[in-house]
Amino acid sequence: MGKGSIIFKIIIILLALLLISVIAIPNDIWEEEDQMTRQSRHNIYAIYEAEQFFHRKTGSYTENFDTLITVIQSDTTLKEKEEVGNLSNELNDILAATLTIPSLRYISTISKAVAEMQGDIRINERYFHKNDDLNRVREELGMNLTRFDSSAIFPDFCETKSLVDSLSELKDKINEYRLQNATYLAKNQMANIAEMLPTIEVNTVVEFWNNEYNRIKDFIREGEKTDIARVSNMFDRLSRFSSRINNNVQELSKVDIQGSLQNLFELQTQMENIYQKFISPQYFRISQRYGLLSLSEVDSTLLNLTSENFTCPDSKEKYIISIVGEKITIESPNLLDEFASQNRTTVEPIMDLQIFDYISKIDDAIDSTNSLMDEKRVHIRRYSNLLLNMKEIMAEFKNLKTVPIYRYAKDTKTLIDTIQVVKQLSVLKPMFEDALNPMDTLATRIENHNFSDLEERLTYLGNNIQNLDSLISAERIPGRVKREIPSFYENYKVVFSIVDEMKRNIAPDESTMLRQVATELEKSLLKVLNGYEEPVNLIFTRTHENHGYIKNGVKSWEEEA
């Protein structure tokens, strides 16, 4: 064999291994990413529910994880629910095992299928009014199926079936019974079943059923030839149910009754033991509670809460708890440090824009006028028309935020200031989404020196203030009092010189910087939302992303979906 052929085989093997890795490794990476996302979001949910539980207990929230878990783990109500759940499942396991004993399982399946058939025959009665012969057979079949509940030819089977049905219902509705009562009923029913089981008339049941089965098949065959088959699928269902009954009747005829009894005796012993356990001093009080097979999602989450839930599985950082009054947010820490750092760097060029300084000066002038009015209104409190006029102007001051360019500048400055101290996505994401378009509009306004809406509102306010000054001057107010009331317009009119200065001095390049910053902030938001990719084995990547937050009960990842 030549060297060429060996090298060729090695290349084939290497290519095969590469192909396998290309198929297998990405799936492993994607599964790991999904698992990390699921775990992180479960942790966020767990902390949020733990905080809600803590708040119900104490009236407040806490940022201390140790305090949170201590309060939850020491709560007796949760512990009792867990214990009731454990006891309920212990009882349920014995009931489930009893109902899987072969002979009982066959009887239970027969009973359920018979009930389904009876329901179908009764519900679909209206389709048979035009076919007397078929309707008569339908009625006869319905009557004959009731013999499984009560029959003189196999009474012991009927009694056993009734007991098995009761035991099955007890299992299905265990939450409607107190545990002690359920256990007492179960052990008595099991004892009665053990007494009746050896005497059931299996051969008679088989003979009866074989006759009925043939009649049912004939009924189905004739029914499928009629128009009824086009408006109802009852014949298909009857076929399935009757086949199920037939299979289980035949299995019941072959079952080892003594073997079933032996299994039943063993489970009776277990049921007696659990009953004695429930009435013992240690469990007597707790077993007076109603059965609880499964805890609610919240209770299960709280009971399984551990210190591991407080740490992000990706970044290994603690989750962020933000408490504002009676509202709380739980947030993934992933990528937020980088997000915050990048945002602070991004907005640095626009932190001291002239537009912000001029808007601040306008605010100061208006606040000064508002304070002066508030201070001096005591002198006009007896003059209702003047006082009402002044209150209306003071209310109008607050409405300055409805002026677009003023609002855009204020919102942009608020965003910049928030970025300096906040890194949480739950705070910054909605602010970004609300501010990015206004920033572009603000840039256009600055570029065109268009401050007309602000000028109009300030002029409107100025006219109202001048009118107030005139009314005060014309009002018959004692001289000593009137001298205490200055001209409010003289204090206010500085706003116009501020606007004039703003129009003359704002540099057009502020608009360019605003647009650049808006673009970079949008990129920063998308980066933290979409995550970044880490190289794996040179040719693959693993995505790291922020896993979202729960704010006031709303899950961010569900909003995005």
Taking CA atoms, 13 is separated from 3, 17, 18, 296, in Å, by: 15, 6, 9, 53
User: SS3 of 211, please?
Assistant: helix
CB 329 within 8 A of CB 383: no
Angle at 271 between CA 266 and CA 275, to 5 degrees: 150
Q: Which residues touch 311 (CB under 8 Å, ≥6 apart)?
A: 43, 317, 318, 319
pLDDT at 232: 87
Q: How confident is the model at residue 132 (pLDDT cuts 50, 70, 90)?
A: confident
Q: How confident is the model at residue 1 (pLDDT cuts 50, 70, 90)?
A: very low
d(C-alpha 304, C-alpha 38), whole Å? 16
Write the single-letter amino acid at 513. Answer: M
Q: How confident is the model at residue 166 (pLDDT cuts 50, 70, 90)?
A: very high
For residue range 275-291, list pLDDT tens digits in order: 999 999 999 999 999 99
Residue 108 has pLDDT above 70, yes or no: yes
Backbone angles phi, psi at 21, to 5 degrees: -65, -35
User: SS3 of 543, please?
Assistant: strand
Nearest to 435 by CA among 401, 461, 405, 408: 408
Q: How confident is the model at residue 480 (pLDDT cuts 50, 70, 90)?
A: confident
User: SS3 of 24, please?
Assistant: helix
Residue 333 has pLDDT above 60, yes or no: yes
pLDDT at 465: 96
Least trusted range by pLDDT, from 49-63, 90-104, 528-542: 528-542
Strand partners, 540: 536
How many CB atoms lie under 10 A from the CB of residue 61?
18
d(C-alpha 262, C-alpha 255), whole Å? 13
For residue range 444-471, list pLDDT tens digits in order: 999 998 999 999 999 999 999 999 999 9
The H or E element spanning position 549 is strand 549-551
Find the helix packing angle between 425-448 and 509-530, rounded to 10°.
160
Taking CA atoms, 492 is separated from 66, 373, 405, 413, 495, in Å, by: 55, 11, 20, 24, 6
d(C-alpha 132, C-alpha 139), whole Å? 10
How many CB atoms lie under 10 A from the CB of residue 308?
9
CB 458 within 8 A of CB 495: yes
Nearest to 194 by CA among 273, 104, 298, 118: 104
Q: How confident is the model at residue 130 (pLDDT cuts 50, 70, 90)?
A: confident
